[in-house]
Amino acid sequence: MRISRRLLDEVIAHARAEAPRECCGMIAGRDGEAVAVHRVANVAANPKTAYHMEPREQLRVMDAIDADGLEVTALYHSHPRTEPVPSQTDINLAGLLADHVFVIVGLEGPEPDVRAFRIVDGAVADAALEVEDAAPLDA
């Protein structure tokens, strides 16, 4: 998945704003290119160690993405106190979403660590996450 530095910074800002709770949301895109970030409320019973997207808000965001002619390219969430690798809970939740990239923002170190994965039939594999800097402005 390709994502601009600006959009990735939005995801990281969301993770920082929600810490020590996990944040969650969706990345809309087209042809493997991220176009927009959509925050979704985390309503997990213990939001410090898990995420669960608020169902009505999740559907509203999915409808908006579809109405814009885009698709849900990735789901994202944060790990405020651990490294950004899928937990067993993340793997279990991924069951029906094998077509999506899962982006996790880790906040345990001095700088955010962002990684992407595909999770298919319980197997976790790294996914490419190409961060593109904004094009320079013409003088």
Q: Is residue 9 assigned to a domain?
A: yes
Instruction: Report whether 28 contacts 38 (CB < 8 A).
Output: yes
The sign of the CA dihedral 72, 36, 94, 22 is negative
* 108 among known catalytic residues: no
Q: Which ranges of 19-54 would DSSP assign to H, the alpha helix?
A: none
Question: Catalytic: which of 22, 54, 57, 83?
Answer: 22
Residues 99-139: tens digit of each pLDDT:
789 999 999 999 999 999 999 988 999 999 999 986 544 43
Burial of 88 (0-12, 13-18, 19+ CB in 10 A): exposed
Which amino acid is residue 92, in one-letter code?
N
Whether residue 137 is contained in a domain is answered as: no
Res. 96: pLDDT tops 90: no
- Residue 138 inside a domain? The answer is no
Domain count, the chain: 1
139 within a domain of the structure (yes/no): no
pLDDT value, residue 93 = 83
If one counts every other C-beta atom within 10 angstroms of the C-beta of residue 118, the result is 18
Domain that holds residue 13: 2-132
User: Residue 125 belongs to a domain with what CATH number?
Assistant: 3.40.140.10
Residue 22 falls inside a structural domain: yes
Task: For residue 79, give the nearest of 115, 43, 54 by alpha carbon.
Answer: 115
Helix (H, G, I), strand (E, B), or coil: what is residue 41? coil
The pLDDT tens digits for 1-26 are 999 999 999 999 999 999 999 999 99
